[in-house]
Amino acid sequence: MKPLLILIAGPYRSGTGDDPDLLDRNLRRLEEAAWPIFRSGHVPMIGEWVALPVLSSAGAAGITDPLAEKVMYPTAHRLLQHCDAVLRLPGESKGADLDVAIARERGIPVYARLEDIPGYVADEALAEVS
């Protein structure tokens, strides 16, 4: 099976009031899905992994900078031109909902659970696969 590039979509800014600790918590939650995707033979991707360094290198003061709206969502939309699937994590998120809508428009599979990803490998099975 060819490895899939899977966009992990879920809440990042939603419900944080842009509090750095809450933003970090949400990013870590998104990142928790990265290892299970990787160990299942695929490549995980999170839009913020690309958008935040782009924003920083553009000289923006952070996600509240006016430039952020020209970088954050557009990054995920550009990534979706390369992604083979989307994993939509639970939680309210306009951006993640938009990612899902774009994916569906483009015929890209959207998964609601890690276990639904093709070739999913559970932790217990990892010892057998290694």
Tell me the pLDDT tens digit for each residue of 91-100. Answer: 999 999 999 9
For 13-71, the pLDDT digits (tens) are 999 999 999 999 999 999 999 999 999 999 999 999 999 999 999 999 999 999 999 99
pTM score above 0.85: yes
According to the model, what pLDDT value does residue 129 have? 46
Which candidate, 8, 67, 13, places its Cα nearest to that of 42? 8
Domain count, the chain: 1
CA distance 101 to 41: 25
Please state which of the ranges 3-12, 101-110, 120-129 shows the lowest mean pLDDT: 120-129
| Domain ranges, residue 13 | 5-129
Do residues 45 and 79 lie in contact, with contact meaning Cβ atoms separated by under 8 Å?
A: yes
According to the model, what pLDDT value does residue 125 have? 55
Write the CATH number for 22.
3.40.50
Enumerate residues 6+ apart whose C-beta is below 8 A from 53: none
